[in-house]
Amino acid sequence: MEKETKRVFDVFRAVILLVVGMTAIAARLFSVVRFESIIHEFDPWFNFRATKYLVANGYYKFLNWFDDRTWYPLGRVTGGTLYPGLMVTSGLLHTIFRWLSFPVDIRNICVMLAPGFSALTAIATYLLASEMKNSTAGLYAAAFMGIAPGYISRSVAGSYDNEAIAIFLLMFTFYLWIKSVKVGSVFYGTMTALFYFYMVAAWGGYAFITNMIPLHVFVLCLMGRFSHRIYIAYSSWYALGTLASMQIPFVGFLPIRSSEHMAALGVFGLVQLLAFGMYMRSMISSTNFRYLLFATVGVILIVGFAGIVLLTISGVIAPWGGRFYSFWDTNYARIHIPIIASVAEHQPTAWPMFFFDTHMLVWLAPAGMFFLFSELRDEHVFVIVYAVLGSYFAGVMVRLMLTLTPILCVAGAVAVTTVLEPYLNGDMTEPARAPEPKGSFYKRFSRILDLSAPRYIYQKGIRLLTSMVIGYMLLHFVFHCTWVTQNAYSSPSVVLASARPDGSTFLIDDYREAYYWLRQNTDYNAKVMSWWDYGYQIGGMADRTTLVDNNTWNNTHIATVGKAMSSSEEVAYPILLQHDVDYILVVFGGLIGYSGDDINKFLWMVRISSGIWPDEIQEKNYFTPRGEYKVDAEASPAMRNSLMYKMSYYRFADLLGRNAIDRQRQQLIPNTPIVLDTLEEVFTSENWMIRIYQVKKPDVFGRTPKEARQWKSGIKRTA
């Protein structure tokens, strides 16, 4: 009987997990249903392009890939400067499907990779939470993980980015780590190292694991819980994991040089010493052991400190990186690196964003932490440390909400399970009770919140009521998650949707229209200049050579493009010729009121280029004398002569006549015709969102572009 019940429960668990996995996938398909199976945003287009290269050319060529079609004329050593895990995963899946005779297009694998892996993440979370409490908590955690918006934000269908597989790897590595701490076996330590290697190959965020595991061990040591289990787990993970991570070309020798990895090394040394100490204590008398202890600690402190100082001064250990430093001193970035401070993902998080992304989990988690504290096994320390540290990082930088969400799911699941246990218990027999504790006030107080006393609810009505209220709140959580997913996180941002007056959807597909025009109407080797935001998309969708792209490794090159965009035609033309530019692509939102257009980004182009050429480009020249940023008749001369302004508003007044109002900025564009000497309009998309210009070749008779244009239009050339 007992065995059979267990089997029934096992089947139930499997079915529930399956349903959770399916829900996790289904919740991420809004974008495919609403739009189509398409790669989203910017970075995924690069990942997609790299995957196609991998599938076409094989792994070794991929590792040695020098891409001469980006950063023209510099090129990029792509194979050595990316995390290959994502591309290799989808390439492998593609091969497996082929081998099984399923002819799947690589694009569909890339689009569906993130939802598929989110189902695996739910399972990994189930395993982790089961280790913390029981399999019921595991199922709750899996369900939370499947639908929590904080994770969905980076894993909807089409969001083909490193995070798509990295969160699964994060959770699974942590599960294996917890398992190896519990069991203390080399096998689990090795498995942890193996998945840690996969994580390093997949995402730059692997440093979170690199610091989280040592921190866990360190806290355990401080609590006096050092044991052989921990020694074995940590040593096998650190030794194998570090060696393995160095096999990734982009990581190389960082694990022994950069300061982000020093904590792991230090704790490795610490556990060796503690293990040695344990051994010595069993061998010699306690007075001798005390002398030995003091001597060793003193020597190690001095040598270690001097060593670190020396290595840092001599430059062997990299100094603290700016991005890393900005975590601790939050004013650092604002004063020293405005470009980091300007990126939206690096902004601090206000409380509504926590609530938006995790809803009730954000206040369930502290209750879960409390319940974990009352038992406080080794693995519980992990969850608590992770939750406190993760909430700090998520508060400093909004994108790190992604790493906080999983642990909130685990802690929240522990809270829900613990609170519902006595209320959902079908057993109505009253347990035997110990007498009321006596003693000091403090002792009685701490017993109030104790979980070890037998818990029993007398009335069925109360059981029902509590279950219903909490169930109702959980239901509300599901509605919230679905609403957030479909409204905030399911837009591909390549295709835009707006509503017509009658309420029907109107799809704005100008980006793809323009990229396909480029692909079909220009030479394969044509060079396209645009602001860096569109580099990956041009490379991915139009397959043309770009000057700059979203991998912003070379500030000077970006500044060159910025200078060309913000200078007059006379200044810009030589730059364009030097860089072999054939086409220029600008994004213009003035006709349909699109806020993410190039005129709104224009000041960044000016700022970045004035950082390199402060004498030629000055920000203040682009404002009116009253200090306003204007594009109408009052616009400053520098503004009106800039290439960007001319390309954006060329023939704009012809289209709308005397009412040429820019709908994004609500300003009237003067209808004096804009004249282009060096450029020729070749394409403008349906809603005027993308405009493409061809750069004219130098005049064969050696005239300036202006003279050539005047001669052609019949104005006689004056000597």
* Distance in Å, CB of 514 to another protein, minimum: 31
Residue 486 binds to another protein (criterion: CB under 8 A): no
Residue 657 binds to another protein (criterion: CB under 8 A): no
* Distance in Å, CB of 398 to another protein, minimum: 8
Please give the Cα distance from 675 to 352 (Å, whole number): 49
Phi and psi dihedrals of 675, rounded to 5?
-110, 130
Residues 591-630, interacting with another protein (CB under 8 A): 614, 620, 623, 625-627
Question: Residue 391 or 551: which CB sits closer to another protein?
Answer: 391
Stretches 127-135, 447-455, 534-542, 581-589: which one binds another protein (CB under 8 A)? Answer: 447-455
Question: Residue 395 or 406: which CB sits closer to another protein?
Answer: 395
DSSP string, 615-628: TT--GGGGS-TTS-
Rounded to 5°, angle at Cα 705 from 702 and 708: 75
Please give the Cα distance from 292 to 307 (Å, whole number): 22
Phi and psi dihedrals of 34, rounded to 5?
-70, -40
Please give the Cα distance from 590 to 652 (Å, whole number): 9
Residue 349 binds to another protein (criterion: CB under 8 A): yes
Residue 479 binds to another protein (criterion: CB under 8 A): yes
Question: Residue 254 or 612: which CB sits closer to another protein?
Answer: 612
Residues 357-396, interacting with another protein (CB under 8 A): 360, 362-367, 369-371, 373-374, 376, 384, 387-388, 391-392, 394-396
* Distance in Å, CB of 34 to another protein, minimum: 18
DSSP string, 91-135: HHHHHHHHHTT----HHHHHHHHHHHHHHHHHHHHHHHHHHHS-H
Strand partners, 680: 694
* Distance in Å, CB of 566 to another protein, minimum: 17
Stretches 73-81, 341-349, 583-591, 657-665: which one binds another protein (CB under 8 A)? Answer: 341-349
In the list 345, 427, 450, 615, the residue contacting another protein (rule: CB under 8 A) is 450
Residue 441 binds to another protein (criterion: CB under 8 A): no
Question: Residue 192 or 405: which CB sits closer to another protein?
Answer: 405
Question: Residue 311 or 350: which CB sits closer to another protein?
Answer: 350
Closest to 565 (Cα-Cα) out of 595, 596, 608: 608
In the list 100, 283, 432, 448, the residue contacting another protein (rule: CB under 8 A) is 448
Residue 451 binds to another protein (criterion: CB under 8 A): yes
Please give the Cα distance from 52 to 31 (Å, whole number): 22
Residues 407-426, interacting with another protein (CB under 8 A): 415, 418-419, 421-423
Residue 556 binds to another protein (criterion: CB under 8 A): no
Residues 233-272, interacting with another protein (CB under 8 A): none
Question: Residue 9 or 472: which CB sits closer to another protein?
Answer: 472
Q: Give the strands of the sheet with 583-587, arranged side by side.
A: 545-546, 527-529, 583-587, 690-695, 679-684
Amino acid at 585: L
Residue 334 binds to another protein (criterion: CB under 8 A): yes
* Distance in Å, CB of 555 to another protein, minimum: 18
Residue 289 binds to another protein (criterion: CB under 8 A): no
Residue 539 binds to another protein (criterion: CB under 8 A): no
* Distance in Å, CB of 450 to another protein, minimum: 7
Both structure tokens of 629: 């940023």
Question: Residue 309 or 376: which CB sits closer to another protein?
Answer: 376
Amino acid at 572: A
Strand partners, 676: none
Residue 328 binds to another protein (criterion: CB under 8 A): no
Closest to 396 (Cα-Cα) out of 339, 341, 359: 341
Residue 331 binds to another protein (criterion: CB under 8 A): yes
Helix then strand then coil, % of the chain, to nearest 5: 65, 5, 30
Question: Residue 355 or 711: which CB sits closer to another protein?
Answer: 355
Residue 354 binds to another protein (criterion: CB under 8 A): yes
Question: Residue 436 or 502: which CB sits closer to another protein?
Answer: 436
Residue 38 binds to another protein (criterion: CB under 8 A): no
Stretches 6-14, 250-258, 329-337, 567-575: which one binds another protein (CB under 8 A)? Answer: 329-337
Closest to 216 (Cα-Cα) out of 186, 238, 245: 238
Residue 220 binds to another protein (criterion: CB under 8 A): no
Stretches 111-119, 239-247, 301-309, 350-358: which one binds another protein (CB under 8 A)? Answer: 350-358
Question: Residue 459 or 718: which CB sits closer to another protein?
Answer: 459
The torsion of the CA quartet 400, 146, 156, 406, rounded to 10 degrees, works out to 10
Closest to 648 (Cα-Cα) out of 688, 593, 605, 595: 688
Residue 348 binds to another protein (criterion: CB under 8 A): yes
Residue 55 contacts residue 94 (beta carbons within 8 Å): yes
Please give the Cα distance from 43 to 540 (Å, whole number): 10
Residues 176-205, interacting with another protein (CB under 8 A): none
Residue 466 binds to another protein (criterion: CB under 8 A): yes
Q: Are strands 527-529 and 545-546 parallel, antiparallel or unpaired?
A: parallel
Size of the site for another protein (CB under 8 A): 72
Stretches 459-467, 520-528, 569-577, 633-641: which one binds another protein (CB under 8 A)? Answer: 459-467
Stretches 76-84, 259-267, 472-480, 681-689: which one binds another protein (CB under 8 A)? Answer: 472-480
* Distance in Å, CB of 469 to another protein, minimum: 5
Closest to 179 (Cα-Cα) out of 124, 221, 220: 124
- CB neighbours of 161 closer than 8 A, spacing ≥ 6? 43, 44, 47, 86, 114, 154
Please give the Cα distance from 644 to 650 (Å, whole number): 10
H, E, C per residue of 463-497:
HHHHHHHHHHHHHHHHHHHHHHHHHHCCCCCCCEE
Helix (H) or strand (E) holding 664: none
Question: Residue 200 or 605: which CB sits closer to another protein?
Answer: 605
Question: Residue 280 or 419: which CB sits closer to another protein?
Answer: 419
Please give the Cα distance from 384 to 220 (Å, whole number): 12
Please give the Cα distance from 194 to 186 (Å, whole number): 12
Stretches 157-165, 259-267, 450-458, 661-669: which one binds another protein (CB under 8 A)? Answer: 450-458
* Distance in Å, CB of 425 to another protein, minimum: 10
